A and B are shown apart, each in its own frame.
Chain A
Amino acid sequence: MEWSAGVDAMSDETMTIFSPHLAARLDALAARYPVRRSALVPMLLYAQDEIGYVSQAVIAEVAERIGITELEVRNVASYYSMLHFKPVGRYKVQVCTSISCALRGADELYERFQKELGIGAEDVTTDGIFSLEKVECIGECAWAPAIQVNYDFHEELSPAHVPGILASYRGKSGVGEKTPHA
């Protein structure tokens, strides 16, 4: 039967959707806790970091690695707001709009990102480089307004900082501002 062949293949260590580096990291994670399942949430997050989102293939492989059903993985994953189930931009621009940032101009900051990127909330730019979202408190209240781009914090911002921040990530992505394919 086809499905059982799939399950067998997944349990073979050579069959992983992850890079050798990540696969080794996930192996170590599964072994370090008193109970294997404790590795579940970190595994999903690290997998997302590499794959880009929690895809069906990620869910299947993580379920197999932990030894629980895909349904259980989905049940847990859906609780955590950093995990997402569809592709996003390579650089996720997360603008904190909780109270301390809001008091110091988070909305103006967010509006400038919207204008510069030409996208709205939860959208992805057509070149796939950026996505934009409003997030709740990121623990940067005394340095507000602040944002997080993937895991990098940027503090004490004003709308005037926005073009520079975007340019620096665009530079890292290796894609010019006006690529013919964009």
Chain B
Amino acid sequence: MPRLVSHPHEVKIVSRRFGKGAANIDRYLELGGYESAWKCLQQGPEWIISEMKASNLRGRGGAGFPTGLKWSFVPKQSAKPKYVLVNGDESEPGTCKDHLIFQHDPHAVIEGTIIAGLAIGAKLGFIYLRGEYRGLLEIMEKAVAEAYARGFLGKNIFKSNTEFQIITHTGAGAYEVGEESALMESLEGKRGIPRIKPPFPAVVGLYGGPTVINNAETIATVPHIIAMGGAAFAAAGSPGNGGTRLFSISGHVERPGVYELPMGYNLKKMIYEVAGGVRGGRSLKAVVPGGSSTPVLLPEEIDIGMDFDQVGKAGSMLGSAGVIVIDDRTCMVEFALRTISFYQHESCGWCIPCREGTDWLKKTLTRFHAGFGEARDIDNILYLAENMMGRTFCPLGDAAAMPMVAFVKKFRWEFEEHLGGRTCPFARHAELAAV
């Protein structure tokens, strides 16, 4: 079972029940569970949405769209049923926070789903977990069964004459399905390829009905916002970036783990204090701040607050808050190759710039890293990546291309070191070997 970590700088809101047996409904109730859903039933949808707007909660999947605003887009009247869809297809390399939520606090996901349903007037919610999370799906399924047995789910929840049901669902291996329209396609029993937008899911979503789609962490945060109040949650974060976030810190640090820190927490402190610094006292070469699709930062660029706006200003993205720390022995050409290999594998093939772009980038980087690169390849990598951006239906094309541009621009000298038939200068020490 994944090890839980702790640090005094943490502000535990979403993770406050981790390690406390809250997967069991009695324990969850002892820890204040389902009180937020009950409060929402009494207060009604307008109040829920105003609290959510006041919280400044922004989507934890990576895009950072304000959750309250997203919920407010769903039309009040709809001929077709409305749905809530929880995105638990956590797959962005460097990201493993939802894993812990499902494991330690499944009822928070259920309760957040109920509240989202009450806010938009849906009677049915889906919780979609990636196929690899079978053990976690079983934990979720047990929790859903308990919630039904206690009357928190069903035709008459909390004896309030309100219906809300939840269906849990397993994927079967596909990163692309984490994109919201592809997620709906997958849940409808199809290949997970994205839909053309507009219409947006809030208007025409799952089975053609208005649908709110939120990341699992976003949904698990909702009951806490209701409990503490939107304004108090907002105050825990930085301007325009409410609350805390689960940061997955991986790579070359002394104490990797998932830490809950306030939005806006300094990245340098996160690495050197919270995660204990670079492993083995080595020096820092680079940091990928928000999952593998976010542009890499140099050591001199990490004295920044970790929220959507500040990381954006530094030329990268907060994304899924997967902080990947890279030490000085790592070959960045190979790191780029590893990164593009993931996106090449996961491209759904629907849009040509993504399908061909990821494939040619992988081929070029494979050859380049093996010592058969030519000087013009370096600019060609840039050319390929820059021409993928903004030319695909879904963000996967950008997700693959953006980091490539940053690797070349910030580590051009390392690419050049691989030229002229020389072997990789890091090969002897690298923990990254050939793909």
What is A's interface to B at a CB cutoff of 8 Å?
Answer: 32-35, 37-42, 44-45, 66, 75-76, 79-83, 97-100, 102-105, 107-108, 136-144, 148, 151-153, 155-156
Contact = CB atoms under 8 A, between A and B. Distances in A.
B115 interface: no
B172 A137 contact: no
A99 B3 contact: no
Contacts of B95: 137, 139, 141
A82 B173 CA distance: 5
A85 B59 CA distance: 37
B91 A32 contact: no
B174 A81 contact: yes
B107 interface: no
B313 interface: no
A41 B431 contact: no
Contacts of A45: 131, 170, 172
Given A38-B189, A45-B131, A144-B256, A103 B342 contact: no
B64 interface: no
B170 A100 contact: no
B90 interface: yes
Interface in B329-363: 330, 335, 338-339, 341-342, 345-346, 348
Nearest to A96: B93
A41 B171 contact: yes
Contacts of A32: 167
B339 A99 contact: yes
Given A80-B172, A82-B173, A139-B132, A103 B324 contact: yes
Interface stretch (B33-41, B243-251, B374-382): B243-251
B180 interface: no
Contacts of A97: 338, 435
Interface in B363-422: none
A151 B134 contact: yes
A11 B383 CA distance: 55
A108 B429 CA distance: 13
Contacts of B90: 139
B104 interface: no
Given A34-B81, A97-B435, A98-B338, A137 B191 contact: no
Contacts of A66: 189
19 contacts: A35-B189, A38-B187, A38-B189, A81-B173, A81-B174, A102-B338, A103-B252, A104-B250, A139-B98, A141-B96, A141-B324, A142-B249, A142-B250, A142-B256, A144-B256, A148-B132, A151-B132, A152-B135, A155-B2
Contact of A139 (B133, B257, B324, B435): B133
A37 B191 contact: no
A48 to B, nearest CB: 9
Nearest to A144: B250
Given A98-B342, A103-B251, A141-B250, 19 more contacts: A40-B189, A41-B189, A42-B170, A45-B170, A80-B171, A82-B131, A82-B172, A97-B338, A99-B338, A100-B94, A104-B252, A107-B433, A108-B433, A136-B175, A137-B292, A139-B98, A139-B132, A140-B99, A144-B256
B388 to A, nearest CB: 19
Contact of A80 (B131, B288, B435): B131
B190 interface: yes
Interface string B59-100: 000000000000000000000010000000011111110110
Contacts of B256: 141-144
Quick one: which of A102, A136, A139, A155 has the most chain B CB within 10 A? A139
B135 A153 contact: yes
Contacts of A153: 1-2, 135
Contacts of B169: 38, 42
Contacts of A104: 250-252, 431
B91 A139 contact: yes
Nearest to A78: B191
5 pairs of A and B residues whose beta carbons are closest in the complex: A82-B173, A40-B189, A81-B173, A37-B189, A80-B172
Contact of A102 (B92, B131, B431): B431
Nearest to B259: A142
Contacts of B326: 103
B172 A44 contact: yes
Nearest to A81: B173
Contacts of A40: 189
Contacts of B335: 99
Given A136-B93, A136-B342, A137-B342, A103 B170 contact: no
A132 to B, nearest CB: 16
